[in-house]
Structure 1
Amino acid sequence: MSLLYDWLIGPFADFGFMRRALAACLALSLGSGAMGVFLVLRRMSLIGDTMAHSVLPGAAIGFMLAGMSLPAMSLGGFLAGLLVALASGLVSRFTPQKEDASFASFFMISLAIGVLLVSTHGSAVDLMHVLFGSILAVDDGSLILMASVASTTLMVLAVIFRGLVAECFDPLYLRALNGRGGLYHVLFLTLVVLNMVSGFQALGTLMAVGLMMLPATAARFWVREVWSLICLATLVAFVSGYIGLVLSYQFNWPSGPAIVLVAGALYLLSLAIGPRDGILLPLLVRRHLRS
């Protein structure tokens, strides 16, 4: 019993930075779980990855102007991500190029500019911090930002939920019905960028998308309805954060990769034994029928 306490509860009971990191995981899970589900439903999973990297040049400019300032880097990252999202949408609307191709193009440009700015105006440590984050170093300001983004995300989703679901499954019908499909799309992309900015403070631009996409892709092997997908993805994201923090503390692993690796392990487990399209269950059922 004492061993279980030392492993699972002791780090959070004894250290304030671990409690803040766990609270940050909860805030990130509440926003990222829902965003990941809608990215999967809209077949925009890889676009989510490109948007995570698109915040890098804005964060780098904020770093150049104000150092490791949370407001400056967050504002710069949000504006850069929003600019890439809007530019990609305009290119896909006024040219034959598809949205995923335009996102990929702007993503490569943004990533190159961001890495160049940080590496030429900072140190290797600064670059690693921006790329990989440090959830164990989350302060009160970062925690307030994450909680605010999560609250804003949930409130906006509550208002546009039905329209956004309709836009995911039948955008032409929604456009013919009330013509608000474009508005839902813009609001959705804005929420994605906000959650990417919130996540990069803790996990970095390279890891933030992992906590958004892996729980969402894992959830689809267990449940079907959109609301249940969101709830399960949020739960998987938080459990990944909790276990990742425990492993990071006990084995001195980097926290961000540990959290994402746990989420990846839960995805592989779901892929293997999930009741909805999992790999092993149909094989077991087939073997049972043969016997």
Structure 2
Amino acid sequence: MAWWLANPVVGPLLEFAFMRRALIGCVALALSAAPVGVFLMLRRMSLTGDAMAHAILPGAAIGYLIAGLSLTAMTIGGTVAGLIVAVGSGLVARNTVLREDTSLAAFYLLSLALGVLIVSVRGNSVDLLHVLFGSVLALDDAALQLLGGISAVTLVALTLLFRPLVLDCLDPGFLRSVSRWSPVAHYGFLMLVVINLVAGFHALGTLMAVGIMVLPAATARFWVRRLLPMLFTATGLALLAGLSGLLISYHADWPTSPVIVLSLGACYLVSLLLAPHGLLRHQRTAPPQPQP
């Protein structure tokens, strides 16, 4: 037993309950957020995910004002705020001259500024850091139950909506013309994005939540081309980065959420250079260009 406790990988997980809770939270996030991130990438909505991650902040801040650092209040507030921004930006894009990316950017900038203002004025610096950067090392039973519930709902929903989601990624016009599942797939997927961002918000904070959703998907794209292997690869990368980020932050005494996201970023940069579809391998195997 003493050898296991001295092991730099297993020791912290065996010795400290907060490390085990953090690992369980990271596993729940990886199983749900990473597959959602793959579909987000295929729909060319990765920046939309980033915008919506900031959009949940004012709702969570209002929940904080009402009930303090209450998991339920901040979850409900963040979910409502995210849905308002997603639906509101879509309505503006459909009924005005603005494109959806512009309207979404306007909504999320207002939301981010409002949320930071609320927490800064009515809270303190510790509360603001908790909201922006999360508290993955302080997850309690209620938070783990929330993360596990969101993960289960996401996996079931992705299983049920798999075919419509794939068609919506490839040819949304065709899906609208042949099936009534198009609005279900579209708005159901937005709901999955929002609730997974709320889950990531509780563990990693507003500024880091989208990282565990987008970076594994972008990294997996360098390794595989088929959808199912991409889903499994993204999930595996998120699990690996979650574990390595926890251990690195523990041994180096660094903030955990940024280290987890930086671990994902390191996987991305290595894959960008060395993966079969990365920069170096792609250039080496590219067919010669025709000469004039």
Aligned equivalents of 1:96, 1:154: Cα separation in 2 = 37
Q: Any conservation in 1 of the 2:5–2:14 contact (CA below 8 Å)? A: no
SS at match of 2:161: helix
> Which shifted more, 83-92 or 20-29?
83-92
Residue 6 of structure 1: how far off its partner (Å): 2.1
Structure 2 residue runs without a partner (length 5+): 287-292
* Residue in structure 1 matched with residue 290 of structure 2 by the alignment: none
Q: Aligned with 1:220: secondary structure?
A: helix
Letter in 2 for 1:107: Y
Q: Residue in 1 aligned with 2:63?
A: 62
- Aligned twin of 2:131: 130
Partner of 1:273: 274
TM-score, scaled relative to structure 2: 0.95
- In the aligned structure 2, how far is the partner of 1:51 from the partner of 1:160? 21
**Distance in 2 between the 1:248 and 1:240 partners?**
12
2:120 corresponds to which residue? Answer: 119
Q: In 2, distance between residues paired with 1:128 and 1:161?
A: 37
For 1:190 and 1:19, how far apart are their aligned partners in 2? 29
Q: CA RMSD in A?
A: 1.5
Matched, 1:183 2:181: no
Q: 1:74 maps to which residue? A: 75
Amino acid aligned to 2:225: R
Q: Does 1:219 align with 2:220?
A: yes
Structure 1 segment 12-27 matched on structure 2, within 5 A = 12-27=13-28
* CA offsets 1:136-172 (integer angstroms, 9 cap, x no match): 0111100000000010000011111100110011001
Structure 1 residue 224: Cα displacement: 1.1
Query: In the alignment, which residue of structure 1 is the partner of 2:193?
Result: 192
Alignment of 1:21-36 (within 5 A): 21-36=22-37
* Distance across 2 between alignment mates of 1:90 and 1:283: 43
2:164 & 2:244 partners in 1: Cα distance? 35
Q: Partner letter of residue 204 of structure 2?
A: L
Normalising by the residue count of structure 1, what TM-score does the alignment of the two structures yield?
A: 0.95
Structure 1 CA distance for aligned equivalents of residues 43 and 284 of structure 2: 32
Alpha-carbon distance in structure 2 between the residues aligned to 1:21 and 1:5: 20
Quick one: distance in 1 between partners of 2:239 and 2:29? 8
Q: Please state if 1:52 is matched with 2:26.
A: no
Give, as a single letter, the amino acid of the residue that structure 1 aligns with 2:228: W
**1:230 offset after TM fit, Å?**
1.0
Q: Do structure 1's residue 208 and structure 2's residue 209 form an aligned pair? A: yes
Which 5+ residue runs of structure 1 have no aligned equivalent? 287-291
CA–CA distance in structure 1, aligned partners of residues 182 and 100 of structure 2: 15
Give the deviation of 1:178 after TM superposition: 1.6
Write the distance in 1 (CA, Å) between the matches of 2:97 and 2:176.
20
**What is the total number of aligned residue pairs between the two structures?**
285
State the shift of 1:261 in Å: 0.2
How far, CA to CA, are the matches of 2:285 and 2:54 in structure 1? Answer: 43
2:129 alignment partner AA: M
Deviation at 1:4, TM superposition (A): 10
Counting aligned pairs with the same residue, the percent is 52
Letter in 2 for 1:41: L
Matches within 5 A, 1:98-109: 98-109=99-110
Cα deviation code 1:75-133 (max 9, x no counterpart): 10000001111101111222232221111110001001100110011001100100000
State how far apart, in whole Å, the 2-side matches of 1:181 and 1:205 are.
30
CA separation of 1:3/1:107 partners in 2, compared to 1, >3 Å: closer, same or farther? same
Q: Distance in 1 between matches of 2:6 and 2:214?
A: 31
Displacement of 1:181: 1.8
SS of residue paired to 1:7: coil
Give 1:3 shift. Answer: 9.2
CA contact (8 A) 2:86 2:104 kept: yes
- 1:283 Cα shift? 4.6
Aligned to 1:259: 260
CA deviation map 1:200-228 (0-9, x unaligned): 10100000001110000000001111111
Aligned equivalent of 1:6: 7
C-alpha contact 2:4 2:11 (8 A) present in aligned 1: no
Partner of 1:289: none
Q: Look up the match of 2:250.
A: 249
Q: Distance in 2 between matches of 1:273 and 1:5?
A: 34
Structure 1 CA distance for aligned equivalents of residues 127 and 18 of structure 2: 21
